[in-house]
Amino acid sequence: MSFVSWAFALLFVPVLAARLLVGRRKTEPALIAIVLVASTVFVMWHVPVYILIMLTSIAVDYVAANVIHRAGEDEVRRKWWLVCSIGTNLALLGFFKYANFALDSLEQVLGWAGCAATLPHVALVLPMGISFYTFGSMSYTIDVYRRRIEPVRRFRDFYFFVTFFPHLVAGPIVRAEQFFYQWKRVRRPRLRVLNEGLYLIVLGLFLKMVCADNLARTVDHYWGQAEEGKLRGVNVILVTLLFSGQIFCDFAGYSSIARGLAYLMGWRFPINFASPYIAASFREFWQRWHITLSRWLRDYLYVPLGGNRASTARTCVNLMLVMLLGGLWHGAALTFVAWGAIHGTGLVVERLLGLHELEEKRTRWPLRLGWFLVVQVCVLMAWVMFRSQSVTGAFRILGRLLDLGPIVFNPEIVLATVFLAPVVLMHLHQLGVEKGWAPRPGKMGKAVLAGVMLWMVLVCYGESTDFIYFQF
């Protein structure tokens, strides 16, 4: 079930009706019951039996958090239950997501050692949204252990948090501390709330159905040719740019719809994207791209490892390790590890040269512009790794990026760049807002923009494709 499917529309209409009719404080028992049923249906729509996997994670984290809280100063007991919670979550995630990758890697190692063997593989469908709800659920136990929050009393409330359908499949990754403080806050369904929620939904539908889906048609058609070396020069560059726009529109579109749905239901989700292609450094890119994941990795992995409080060498190791694991989080393939390695290397080089503080130091604009170009080219190269089926195919594309040869444009690829225009305009406008060159859109501006985007959704939508991050 997808946000852009009729099945989801039929599921959400009664939930929205309940919100307007019986859920004026958003936590009335009747509305909670309806949302719980809708979320459970949403979870079971994919593979019904997989709800048992989610229930296992939820039950372990619920019990662990309560035991940790009651343990008081008994650090041994507290740490044991924290390890039990984290271990259970990572074991479930690892089995379903990385079992075959581990078996393939073991086969290769055995082959290099002269002991060729064919190992059995696990034929399993990846549980929907397991990477996202696992991180959200783990944040709850960890924050209870850190005494940042207190555990919820009712199992129902924790189940509601983990399974809440707007953020379930592809985020944003909502932490317990970002969610439960809103439980008792009254957010009535006023016109202003409805307008903002609907605007976010329309924006998300436009990014997904008009931009991402139309770009996907061209990217899917020509990417394989690029990996085989059949596409050359400027057309390879254009296809790579098309994918950079596609993945932004696809994921930012999903996040916008999720935020809009949650807003209509009376909940605020954190922003997940902030015009990443205007980032002037690798650090800034990760402050703008998949913000909830980068902050999760920072707070629950990078900082516990020592962050930047230790020596420069240790800081560089921490940065690289976090980015490698961040790449592996996206999928069990060497291409994702290579994607993380590119970003990790960029962050390390940037820190060693002091280029992560160009803006704070008010460095002269030629250096800032030069490093901005380096960053964005590296981001583009990393997307080649991310999208390719193999590292070999990715290197073949990267080799063709510099092979301009005779400049012959493919008309279909050039025509598809039209759907990059909204991405460019969005980023330029955000840059203008941040620099004080342009105002933020007012109510009337948003209304006009929403009308234009809705009209384009109805007349310019592309062939429906799954959200890219559904596979993670």
For residue 362, pLDDT beyond 70: no
pLDDT tens digits, residue range 142-178? 999 999 999 999 999 999 999 999 888 777 999 999 9
| Active-site annotation holds for 290 | no
Are 218 and 470 in contact, with CB atoms under 8 Å apart? no
- What's the chain's average pLDDT? 88
Cα separation, 323 vs 349, whole angstroms = 14
User: What is the model's pLDDT at position 408?
Assistant: 76
Taking the C-alpha atoms of residue 323 and residue 347, their distance in angstroms, rounded to an integer, is 9
Least confident stretch, 75-79, 233-237, 299-303, 385-389 = 233-237
pLDDT above 80 (res 121): no
**Mean predicted confidence (pLDDT) in 178-186:** 87
Closest CA to 317 of 328, 329, 326, 306: 306
Question: Binning pLDDT at 50, 70 and 90, where does residue 129 land?
Answer: confident
- Would you say residue 283 has pLDDT above 70? yes
Alpha-carbon gap, residue 392 to 293, rounded angstroms:
28
Most confident of 8-12, 236-240, 461-465: 236-240
Phi, psi (degrees; rounded to nearest 5) at 310:
-90, -155
Please give the C-alpha separations between residue 316 and each of 33, 117, 279, in angstroms, as whole numbers.
48, 37, 21
Angle between helices 6-21 and 29-44 (to 10 degrees): 170
Residue 117's pLDDT is 65
pLDDT-wise least confident of 171-180, 312-321, 363-372, 377-386: 363-372
Domain boundaries, the chain: 6-188, 193-280+358-471
DSSP assignment of 369-428 equals HHHHHHHHHHHHHHHHHHH-SSHHHHHHHHHHHT---S----HHHHHHGGGGHHHHHHHH
State mean pLDDT over 175-202.
88
pLDDT-derived band at 469, boundaries 50, 70, 90:
low
Half-sphere exposure of residue 79: CA atoms within 13 angstroms, side-chain side: 3
Section 36-44 average pLDDT: 90
pLDDT at 333: 85
User: Can you tell me the distance from the alpha carbon of 451 to that of 202, in angstroms, rounded to the nearest whole number?
Assistant: 9
pLDDT band for 215, please (50, 70, 90 cuts). Answer: very high
pLDDT at 123 over 90: no
The token pair that represents 123 in the structure block: 């034929």
From 46, 167, 221, 330, the catalytic residue: 330
Q: What pLDDT was estimated at residue 110? A: 63
Looking at residue 319, what is its pLDDT? 94
- Which residues, 6+ apart, have CB-to-CB distance to 437 below 8 Å? 431
**Which pLDDT value is given to residue 144?**
95
**Is residue 128 very low, low, confident or very high in pLDDT (cuts 50, 70, 90)?**
confident
Q: What is the mean pLDDT of residues 246-253?
A: 93
Q: Which residue has the higher pLDDT, 470 or 353?
A: 353
Predicted pLDDT of residue 57: 94
Write out pLDDT tens, residues 193-213.
Answer: 889 999 999 999 999 999 999
Return the pLDDT at 309: 83
Q: Cα dist. 162→204, 248, 269 in Å?
A: 22, 25, 13
| Of the candidates 14, 54, 36, the residue with the CA atom closest to the CA atom of residue 156 | 36
Q: How far is 233 from 315, CA to CA, in rounded Å? A: 38
Q: Give the CB-side neighbour count of residue 75, counting CA atoms within 13 A.
A: 1
Q: Stretch 63-84: mean pLDDT, rounded?
A: 93
What pLDDT was estimated at residue 230?
A: 83
Cα–Cα distance, 137 to 327 (Å, whole number): 20
What does the pLDDT look like over 387-398, one tens digit per residue?
998 899 999 888
Closest Cα partner for 412 from 266, 256, 214, 131? 214
| H or E element that contains 324 | helix 312-330
| Alpha carbon distance 435, 433 (integer Å) | 5
Span 90-96, mean pLDDT? 90
Rama region for 278: left / alpha / beta (φ>0; ψ in -120 to 50; rest)? alpha
For the chain, the first-to-last Cα distance in angstroms comes to 15
What's the pLDDT score for residue 261?
A: 94
**Is the pLDDT reported for residue 429 higher than 70?**
yes
Nearest to 100, CA basis, from 66, 124, 117:
124
* DSSP secondary structure letter of residue 309: S
Higher pLDDT, 203 or 125: 203
Q: Is the pLDDT at 3 greater than 80, yes or no?
A: no
